[in-house]
Amino acid sequence: MRARLFPALLALLVLTGCAAAPAVPPQQQYQATFLTLFDTVTTIVGYADTEEDFQAQAQQIHDDLLEYHQLFDIYNEYGDLSNLKTVNDHAGIAPVAVDQRIIALLLDCKAYHELTGGAVNVGMGSVLSLWHTARTEGRDAPDRAKLPNDEALHTAQEHSCFDAVVIDEEKSTVFLRDPQQRLDVGAVAKGWSVERVCRAAPEGLLVSVGGNVCATGPKPTGNDWVIGIQSPDDVSSYLHTLNIKDGCVVTSGDYQRYYVVDGKPYHHIIDPQSGYPAARWRAVTVVGSDSGLADCLSTALFILPQEEGQQLLDRTGAVALWVTHDGTILYSPGFEHLIRT
Ligand code: ADP
Ligand code: MG
Protein backbone atom coordinates (compact mmCIF):
# COMPACT_ATOMS: atom_id res chain seq x y z
CA MET A 1 0.00 0.00 0.00
CA ARG A 2 2.78 2.36 0.81
CA ALA A 3 5.80 3.15 -1.28
CA ARG A 4 8.28 0.89 0.49
CA LEU A 5 8.52 -2.63 1.72
CA PHE A 6 9.85 -3.27 5.22
CA PRO A 7 10.32 -7.01 5.56
CA ALA A 8 11.22 -6.53 9.23
CA LEU A 9 7.57 -5.71 9.88
CA LEU A 10 6.75 -9.34 10.42
CA ALA A 11 6.10 -8.99 14.14
CA LEU A 12 4.97 -12.55 14.64
CA LEU A 13 6.86 -15.46 13.20
CA VAL A 14 5.25 -18.77 12.57
CA LEU A 15 7.11 -21.58 14.27
CA THR A 16 6.57 -24.78 12.42
CA GLY A 17 7.92 -27.11 15.09
CA CYS A 18 5.26 -29.03 16.98
CA ALA A 19 5.00 -30.54 20.42
CA ALA A 20 4.26 -34.14 19.51
CA ALA A 21 4.37 -35.89 16.14
CA PRO A 22 1.14 -37.55 15.02
CA ALA A 23 1.17 -41.35 14.60
CA VAL A 24 0.58 -41.08 10.84
CA PRO A 25 1.08 -37.64 9.34
CA PRO A 26 -1.97 -37.37 7.09
CA GLN A 27 -0.56 -34.69 4.85
CA GLN A 28 2.66 -32.79 4.24
CA GLN A 29 3.14 -29.24 5.56
CA TYR A 30 3.86 -26.52 2.99
CA GLN A 31 4.57 -22.81 3.14
CA ALA A 32 4.20 -19.92 0.68
CA THR A 33 5.55 -16.36 1.05
CA PHE A 34 4.41 -13.24 -0.83
CA LEU A 35 5.98 -9.78 -0.70
CA THR A 36 3.30 -8.03 -2.72
CA LEU A 37 0.56 -7.36 -0.17
CA PHE A 38 -0.08 -4.48 2.26
CA ASP A 39 3.55 -3.35 2.19
CA THR A 40 4.63 -6.31 4.30
CA VAL A 41 5.42 -10.00 4.30
CA THR A 42 2.60 -12.53 3.87
CA THR A 43 3.18 -16.14 4.88
CA ILE A 44 0.70 -18.97 4.40
CA VAL A 45 1.27 -22.35 6.04
CA GLY A 46 -0.94 -25.38 5.48
CA TYR A 47 -1.27 -29.09 4.85
CA ALA A 48 -2.12 -30.76 1.57
CA ASP A 49 -1.66 -34.03 -0.30
CA THR A 50 0.57 -32.39 -2.86
CA GLU A 51 2.55 -29.17 -3.13
CA GLU A 52 0.44 -28.29 -6.16
CA ASP A 53 -2.78 -28.47 -4.12
CA PHE A 54 -1.29 -26.26 -1.43
CA GLN A 55 0.09 -23.71 -3.90
CA ALA A 56 -3.34 -23.42 -5.53
CA GLN A 57 -4.93 -22.66 -2.12
CA ALA A 58 -2.19 -20.18 -1.24
CA GLN A 59 -2.48 -18.44 -4.61
CA GLN A 60 -6.25 -18.06 -4.15
CA ILE A 61 -5.71 -16.45 -0.74
CA HIS A 62 -3.06 -14.17 -2.24
CA ASP A 63 -5.38 -13.13 -5.08
CA ASP A 64 -8.23 -12.35 -2.67
CA LEU A 65 -5.92 -10.36 -0.40
CA LEU A 66 -4.59 -8.45 -3.42
CA GLU A 67 -8.11 -7.26 -4.22
CA TYR A 68 -8.51 -5.94 -0.66
CA HIS A 69 -5.06 -4.36 -0.83
CA GLN A 70 -5.98 -2.46 -3.99
CA LEU A 71 -9.43 -1.42 -2.73
CA PHE A 72 -8.05 -0.05 0.56
CA ASP A 73 -4.93 1.58 -0.91
CA ILE A 74 -4.79 5.37 -0.35
CA TYR A 75 -1.54 5.92 -2.28
CA ASN A 76 -1.97 4.19 -5.65
CA GLU A 77 -4.50 3.96 -8.45
CA TYR A 78 -5.31 0.71 -10.27
CA GLY A 79 -6.81 1.46 -13.69
CA ASP A 80 -10.54 2.13 -13.40
CA LEU A 81 -10.85 0.77 -9.85
CA SER A 82 -12.55 3.14 -7.39
CA ASN A 83 -10.53 2.66 -4.22
CA LEU A 84 -9.97 4.69 -1.04
CA LYS A 85 -7.55 6.97 -2.92
CA THR A 86 -10.45 7.83 -5.25
CA VAL A 87 -12.65 8.58 -2.22
CA ASN A 88 -9.92 10.81 -0.73
CA ASP A 89 -9.35 12.58 -4.06
CA HIS A 90 -13.07 13.43 -4.19
CA ALA A 91 -13.23 14.91 -0.67
CA GLY A 92 -15.60 17.87 -0.70
CA ILE A 93 -16.39 17.26 -4.38
CA ALA A 94 -18.72 14.27 -4.80
CA PRO A 95 -19.71 10.85 -3.42
CA VAL A 96 -17.77 7.98 -5.00
CA ALA A 97 -19.41 4.67 -5.98
CA VAL A 98 -17.33 1.90 -4.44
CA ASP A 99 -17.21 -1.88 -4.11
CA GLN A 100 -19.37 -3.30 -1.30
CA ARG A 101 -16.19 -4.45 0.46
CA ILE A 102 -15.22 -0.80 1.05
CA ILE A 103 -18.68 -0.10 2.48
CA ALA A 104 -18.43 -3.17 4.74
CA LEU A 105 -14.98 -2.13 5.98
CA LEU A 106 -16.05 1.45 6.71
CA LEU A 107 -19.18 0.31 8.57
CA ASP A 108 -16.95 -1.85 10.77
CA CYS A 109 -14.58 1.12 11.18
CA LYS A 110 -17.56 3.13 12.44
CA ALA A 111 -18.24 0.40 15.03
CA TYR A 112 -14.52 0.29 15.96
CA HIS A 113 -14.52 4.08 16.38
CA GLU A 114 -17.47 3.88 18.76
CA LEU A 115 -16.10 0.83 20.62
CA THR A 116 -12.70 2.47 21.25
CA GLY A 117 -14.12 5.87 22.18
CA GLY A 118 -12.40 7.41 19.15
CA ALA A 119 -8.93 5.94 19.82
CA VAL A 120 -9.08 4.13 16.48
CA ASN A 121 -10.25 6.71 13.96
CA VAL A 122 -9.72 5.94 10.26
CA GLY A 123 -11.07 9.43 9.53
CA MET A 124 -7.83 11.05 10.73
CA GLY A 125 -6.02 10.44 7.44
CA SER A 126 -4.96 14.10 7.19
CA VAL A 127 -3.07 13.82 10.50
CA LEU A 128 -1.60 10.44 9.56
CA SER A 129 -0.51 11.73 6.17
CA LEU A 130 1.60 14.51 7.77
CA TRP A 131 3.36 11.84 9.84
CA HIS A 132 3.68 9.52 6.87
CA THR A 133 5.36 12.23 4.76
CA ALA A 134 7.69 13.32 7.59
CA ARG A 135 8.59 9.68 8.32
CA THR A 136 9.24 8.81 4.67
CA GLU A 137 11.39 11.91 4.13
CA GLY A 138 13.15 11.39 7.45
CA ARG A 139 14.05 7.81 6.61
CA ASP A 140 15.27 8.81 3.14
CA ALA A 141 17.41 11.68 4.48
CA PRO A 142 18.05 11.06 8.23
CA ASP A 143 20.20 14.24 8.55
CA ARG A 144 17.24 16.40 7.59
CA ALA A 145 14.57 14.42 9.50
CA LYS A 146 12.03 16.70 11.11
CA LEU A 147 8.67 16.53 12.87
CA PRO A 148 5.49 17.53 11.06
CA ASN A 149 4.59 21.19 11.56
CA ASP A 150 2.72 21.44 14.89
CA GLU A 151 0.16 23.94 13.60
CA ALA A 152 -0.52 21.80 10.52
CA LEU A 153 -1.08 18.80 12.80
CA HIS A 154 -3.61 20.67 14.92
CA THR A 155 -5.40 21.98 11.83
CA ALA A 156 -5.52 18.42 10.43
CA GLN A 157 -6.99 17.19 13.74
CA GLU A 158 -9.94 19.52 13.15
CA HIS A 159 -10.66 17.67 9.90
CA SER A 160 -10.71 14.18 11.37
CA CYS A 161 -14.29 13.72 12.53
CA PHE A 162 -15.36 10.20 11.55
CA ASP A 163 -19.05 11.16 11.84
CA ALA A 164 -18.56 13.51 8.87
CA VAL A 165 -17.86 10.51 6.62
CA VAL A 166 -21.06 9.78 4.66
CA ILE A 167 -21.46 6.06 4.00
CA ASP A 168 -24.49 5.29 1.83
CA GLU A 169 -25.08 1.54 1.99
CA GLU A 170 -27.94 1.51 -0.51
CA LYS A 171 -26.15 3.49 -3.18
CA SER A 172 -22.79 1.95 -2.18
CA THR A 173 -21.13 5.36 -2.10
CA VAL A 174 -18.74 7.14 0.25
CA PHE A 175 -18.45 10.91 0.53
CA LEU A 176 -16.05 12.99 2.56
CA ARG A 177 -18.08 16.17 3.06
CA ASP A 178 -15.08 18.01 4.49
CA PRO A 179 -12.68 18.82 1.62
CA GLN A 180 -9.73 18.58 4.03
CA GLN A 181 -10.61 15.17 5.48
CA ARG A 182 -8.86 11.97 4.34
CA LEU A 183 -9.34 8.28 5.18
CA ASP A 184 -6.46 5.99 6.23
CA VAL A 185 -7.48 2.45 7.15
CA GLY A 186 -3.94 1.24 7.96
CA ALA A 187 -4.89 0.43 11.58
CA VAL A 188 -7.40 -2.24 10.59
CA ALA A 189 -7.12 -3.06 6.87
CA LYS A 190 -4.68 -5.97 7.18
CA GLY A 191 -6.51 -7.71 10.01
CA TRP A 192 -9.93 -7.07 8.46
CA SER A 193 -8.85 -8.46 5.09
CA VAL A 194 -7.22 -11.48 6.70
CA GLU A 195 -10.46 -12.17 8.57
CA ARG A 196 -12.46 -12.04 5.34
CA VAL A 197 -10.17 -14.37 3.39
CA CYS A 198 -9.81 -16.79 6.30
CA ARG A 199 -13.59 -17.14 6.61
CA ALA A 200 -13.67 -18.28 2.97
CA ALA A 201 -10.51 -20.43 3.12
CA PRO A 202 -10.27 -24.17 3.84
CA GLU A 203 -9.72 -25.24 7.47
CA GLY A 204 -6.26 -25.92 8.80
CA LEU A 205 -4.35 -22.98 7.29
CA LEU A 206 -2.33 -20.29 9.00
CA VAL A 207 -2.27 -16.90 7.29
CA SER A 208 0.13 -14.18 8.46
CA VAL A 209 0.11 -10.67 6.95
CA GLY A 210 2.72 -8.64 8.80
CA GLY A 211 1.86 -8.83 12.47
CA ASN A 212 -1.63 -10.20 11.74
CA VAL A 213 -1.78 -13.98 12.12
CA CYS A 214 -4.97 -15.99 11.72
CA ALA A 215 -5.59 -19.74 11.86
CA THR A 216 -8.54 -21.03 9.84
CA GLY A 217 -8.86 -23.98 12.21
CA PRO A 218 -6.67 -26.49 14.01
CA LYS A 219 -3.87 -28.29 12.17
CA PRO A 220 -5.00 -31.53 10.54
CA THR A 221 -2.26 -33.22 12.61
CA GLY A 222 -4.17 -32.38 15.78
CA ASN A 223 -1.35 -30.22 17.17
CA ASP A 224 -1.78 -26.55 18.01
CA TRP A 225 -0.22 -23.86 15.87
CA VAL A 226 2.77 -22.29 17.60
CA ILE A 227 3.00 -18.51 17.18
CA GLY A 228 6.00 -16.48 18.33
CA ILE A 229 5.59 -12.96 19.76
CA GLN A 230 8.62 -10.98 18.67
CA SER A 231 10.60 -9.05 21.26
CA PRO A 232 10.49 -5.27 20.62
CA ASP A 233 14.23 -5.05 21.40
CA ASP A 234 15.48 -8.03 19.44
CA VAL A 235 13.60 -9.13 16.35
CA SER A 236 15.34 -12.49 16.42
CA SER A 237 13.98 -13.50 19.83
CA TYR A 238 10.51 -14.14 21.23
CA LEU A 239 8.85 -12.80 24.36
CA HIS A 240 6.64 -15.86 24.31
CA THR A 241 5.43 -18.58 22.03
CA LEU A 242 1.69 -19.26 22.10
CA ASN A 243 -0.41 -22.37 21.47
CA ILE A 244 -3.23 -21.42 19.12
CA LYS A 245 -5.89 -23.82 17.80
CA ASP A 246 -7.83 -21.31 15.77
CA GLY A 247 -8.34 -17.55 16.05
CA CYS A 248 -6.03 -14.60 15.55
CA VAL A 249 -2.94 -12.99 17.03
CA VAL A 250 -2.22 -9.33 16.22
CA THR A 251 0.63 -7.11 17.42
CA SER A 252 1.10 -3.32 17.33
CA GLY A 253 4.48 -1.94 18.35
CA ASP A 254 6.67 1.15 18.30
CA TYR A 255 9.59 -0.77 16.75
CA GLN A 256 7.92 -1.47 13.41
CA ARG A 257 7.60 1.80 11.52
CA TYR A 258 9.43 4.75 12.94
CA TYR A 259 11.99 7.42 12.18
CA VAL A 260 14.43 9.39 14.32
CA VAL A 261 14.47 13.17 14.90
CA ASP A 262 17.24 14.63 17.08
CA GLY A 263 18.02 11.17 18.44
CA LYS A 264 14.42 10.45 19.44
CA PRO A 265 12.32 7.79 17.68
CA TYR A 266 8.82 8.68 16.43
CA HIS A 267 6.62 5.75 15.43
CA HIS A 268 3.43 5.34 13.41
CA ILE A 269 0.60 4.87 15.94
CA ILE A 270 -0.89 8.27 16.64
CA ASP A 271 -2.96 9.26 19.66
CA PRO A 272 -5.93 11.14 18.15
CA GLN A 273 -6.13 13.37 21.26
CA SER A 274 -2.60 14.75 20.97
CA GLY A 275 -1.90 14.21 17.27
CA TYR A 276 1.47 12.69 18.27
CA PRO A 277 2.77 9.11 18.58
CA ALA A 278 1.29 7.29 21.58
CA ALA A 279 4.03 6.87 24.19
CA ARG A 280 2.44 4.57 26.77
CA TRP A 281 3.62 1.11 25.60
CA ARG A 282 6.32 -0.52 23.52
CA ALA A 283 4.06 -3.20 22.11
CA VAL A 284 0.67 -4.81 22.54
CA THR A 285 -0.43 -8.26 21.37
CA VAL A 286 -4.11 -9.18 21.15
CA VAL A 287 -5.53 -12.69 20.72
CA GLY A 288 -9.15 -12.96 19.63
CA SER A 289 -11.55 -14.77 17.36
CA ASP A 290 -11.96 -11.99 14.76
CA SER A 291 -8.83 -10.66 13.08
CA GLY A 292 -10.35 -7.29 12.07
CA LEU A 293 -11.46 -6.61 15.63
CA ALA A 294 -8.11 -7.86 16.99
CA ASP A 295 -6.28 -5.44 14.66
CA CYS A 296 -8.48 -2.59 15.89
CA LEU A 297 -7.91 -3.63 19.51
CA SER A 298 -4.13 -3.88 19.19
CA THR A 299 -3.98 -0.30 17.91
CA ALA A 300 -6.47 0.91 20.55
CA LEU A 301 -4.73 -0.85 23.46
CA PHE A 302 -1.42 0.60 22.28
CA ILE A 303 -2.89 4.10 22.74
CA LEU A 304 -5.04 3.64 25.86
CA PRO A 305 -4.19 3.14 29.56
CA GLN A 306 -4.30 -0.50 30.68
CA GLU A 307 -7.64 -0.18 32.53
CA GLU A 308 -9.39 1.27 29.47
CA GLY A 309 -7.81 -1.39 27.27
CA GLN A 310 -8.97 -4.08 29.69
CA GLN A 311 -12.53 -2.76 29.47
CA LEU A 312 -12.39 -3.21 25.69
CA LEU A 313 -11.12 -6.77 26.16
CA ASP A 314 -13.94 -7.48 28.63
CA ARG A 315 -16.49 -6.21 26.11
CA THR A 316 -15.10 -8.21 23.19
CA GLY A 317 -13.84 -11.44 24.80
CA ALA A 318 -10.27 -10.94 23.54
CA VAL A 319 -7.10 -11.25 25.65
CA ALA A 320 -3.85 -9.27 25.45
CA LEU A 321 -0.36 -8.60 26.70
CA TRP A 322 1.25 -5.17 27.04
CA VAL A 323 5.01 -4.52 26.99
CA THR A 324 6.12 -1.49 29.03
CA HIS A 325 9.14 0.72 28.30
CA ASP A 326 11.22 -1.10 30.93
CA GLY A 327 10.40 -4.45 29.34
CA THR A 328 7.86 -5.58 31.96
CA ILE A 329 5.06 -7.67 30.44
CA LEU A 330 1.49 -7.23 31.72
CA TYR A 331 -1.18 -9.84 30.95
CA SER A 332 -4.95 -9.65 30.78
CA PRO A 333 -6.81 -12.42 32.65
CA GLY A 334 -6.93 -15.54 30.48
CA PHE A 335 -3.80 -14.80 28.45
CA GLU A 336 -1.69 -17.22 30.49
CA HIS A 337 -3.66 -20.23 29.14
CA LEU A 338 -2.21 -19.56 25.68
CA ILE A 339 1.45 -19.38 26.70
CA ARG A 340 3.60 -22.31 25.53
CA THR A 341 7.02 -20.88 26.47
P1 ADP B 1 0.65 -1.99 11.71
O2 ADP B 1 -0.14 -1.47 10.56
O3 ADP B 1 2.08 -1.63 11.66
O4 ADP B 1 0.43 -3.46 11.92
P5 ADP B 1 -1.35 -0.91 13.45
O6 ADP B 1 -2.34 -1.98 13.15
O7 ADP B 1 -1.28 -0.50 14.88
O8 ADP B 1 0.11 -1.29 13.02
O9 ADP B 1 -1.75 0.32 12.54
C10 ADP B 1 -0.91 1.46 12.40
C11 ADP B 1 -1.36 2.25 11.21
O12 ADP B 1 -2.68 2.72 11.44
C13 ADP B 1 -0.53 3.50 10.97
O14 ADP B 1 0.47 3.26 10.00
C15 ADP B 1 -1.54 4.51 10.46
O16 ADP B 1 -1.75 4.35 9.08
C17 ADP B 1 -2.81 4.10 11.14
N18 ADP B 1 -3.07 4.76 12.46
C19 ADP B 1 -2.17 5.18 13.39
N20 ADP B 1 -2.78 5.66 14.48
C21 ADP B 1 -4.11 5.51 14.26
C22 ADP B 1 -5.29 5.82 15.01
N23 ADP B 1 -5.23 6.33 16.23
N24 ADP B 1 -6.49 5.54 14.44
C25 ADP B 1 -6.58 5.03 13.20
N26 ADP B 1 -5.52 4.74 12.44
C27 ADP B 1 -4.29 4.95 12.96
MG1 MG C 1 -4.13 -2.43 14.22
Query: What is the reported pLDDT for 18?
Result: 35
Judge contact between 146 and 158, C-beta under 8 A: no
What is the pLDDT at residue 90? 98
Pocket probe mutation, ligand 1, options 106, 184, 190, max atoms within 8 Å of Cβ:
184
Q: What is the pTM of this model?
A: 0.93
Secondary structure (DSSP) of 221-268: TSPPEEEEEE-SS-TTSEEEEEEESSEEEEEEETTSSEEEETTEEEES
**Interval between CA 285 and ligand 2 midpoint (Å):** 10
Ligand nearest to the CA of 119: 1
Cβ–ligand 1 distance for 224 under 6 Å, the answer no
Give the start-end residues of each E strand in 52-176.
Answer: 96-97, 165-168, 173-176
122 CB near ligand 1 (under 6 Å): yes
272 C-beta closer than 6 A to ligand 1: yes
Confirm or reject: Cβ of 184 under 6 Å from ligand 1.
yes
252 alpha carbon – ligand 2 mean position (Å): 6
185 CB less than 6 Å from ligand 1?
no
- Span 125-170, pLDDT tens digits: 999 999 999 999 999 999 999 999 999 999 999 999 999 999 999 9
Picking from 216, 197, 221, 287, the residue whose alpha carbon sits closest to that of residue 16 is: 221
- H-run or E-run covering 288: strand 283-288
| CA gap 23, 25 in Å, rounded | 6
**Does ligand 1 lie within 6 Å of residue 208's CB atom?**
no
Ligand having the closest approach to the CA of 186:
1
| Listed residue (113, 105, 46, 94) closest to 70, CA to CA | 105
Q: Which pairs from 69-75 meet CB under 8 Å and 24+ separation?
A: 69/1, 69/37, 69/38, 69/193, 71/98, 71/99, 71/101, 71/102, 72/1, 72/102, 72/105, 72/185, 72/189, 72/193, 73/1, 74/1, 74/125, 74/182, 74/183, 74/184, 74/185, 75/1, 75/2, 75/3
Determine contact, residues 251/11, Cβ cutoff 8 Å: yes
pLDDT at residue 235 in the model: 83
**Ligand 1 geometric centre to CA of 269 (Å):** 5
Vertex 115 angle, CA 172 and 12, to 5° = 90
pLDDT tens for the chain, residues 1 to 341 = 433 333 333 344 444 333 344 555 568 999 999 999 999 999 999 999 999 999 999 999 999 999 999 999 999 999 999 999 999 999 999 999 999 999 999 999 999 999 999 999 999 999 999 999 999 999 999 999 999 999 999 999 999 999 999 999 999 999 999 999 999 999 999 999 999 999 999 999 999 999 899 999 989 888 999 999 999 999 889 999 999 999 999 999 999 899 999 999 999 999 999 999 999 999 999 999 999 999 999 999 999 999 999 999 999 999 999 999 999 999 999 999 999 99
What pLDDT was estimated at residue 36?
Answer: 94
- What pLDDT, on a 0 to 100 scale, did the predictor assign at position 26? 65
Would the CB of 186 count as within 6 Å of ligand 1?
yes
Q: Can you give the pLDDT at residue 25?
A: 56
Q: Is the CB of 187 under 6 A from ligand 1?
A: yes
Q: Give the N- to C-terminal CA distance of the chain in Å, as an integer.
A: 34
256 within ligand 1 shell (Cβ under 6 A): yes
Q: Which of 299, 301, 304, 322 for a ligand 1 pocket mutation test, highest count of atoms within 8 Å of Cβ?
A: 299
Query: According to the model, what pLDDT value does residue 211 have?
Result: 81
| Residue whose CA lies nearest to ligand 1 atom number 12 | 187
